[in-house]
Amino acid sequence: MSIRLHSTGIVLGDTYEDEVHGKVGIATIVSEFLHGCARVTLEYVNGDEDICEATFDIGQLKHQRTGRVMSARRVVEDSDAAVSG
């Protein structure tokens, strides 16, 4: 169930796989740092049937339905370019 499309291209509520560690989970949080890449928190069920969460760099994630590997580039909107001061 897709809930929200973030400006990074991550769809909160969709399933992603961390290609480095092999974790598969549902995207629940997108964090954008001022001078760094975006990070995504996935919730998943571990081998003990516990619900866990882990946070990954966006470039490590692959969308499970489409197979698209997410881009680490930052999406800049018009409002980001205008700095008042």
| pLDDT at res. 85 | 45
| The pLDDT value given to residue 73 | 60
pLDDT at 36: 74
CA 65 to chain centre: 14
Return the ∠ at Cα 77 (arms to 72 and 83), rounded to 5°: 115
Which pLDDT belongs to residue 6?
A: 67
74 falls within a domain: no
Confirm whether 31 is domain-assigned: yes
What CA dihedral angle connects 9, 65, 24 and 18, to 10 degrees?
-50
How do 38-45 and 4-5 pair as beta strands?
unpaired
**pLDDT at position 83, please?**
43
Residue 42 domain-assigned (yes or no): yes
CATH at residue 19: 2.30.30.390
- Total count of domains within the chain: 1
Determine, yes or no, domain membership for 45.
yes
In a domain, 35, yes or no: yes
- Residue 80 within any structural domain of the chain: no
Say what the pLDDT of residue 41 is: 97
Range of the structural domain that residue 64 is part of? 4-68
75 inside domain: no
Q: Which segments in the chain show pLDDT lower than 70?
A: 1-6, 72-85
Inside any domain, residue 16: yes
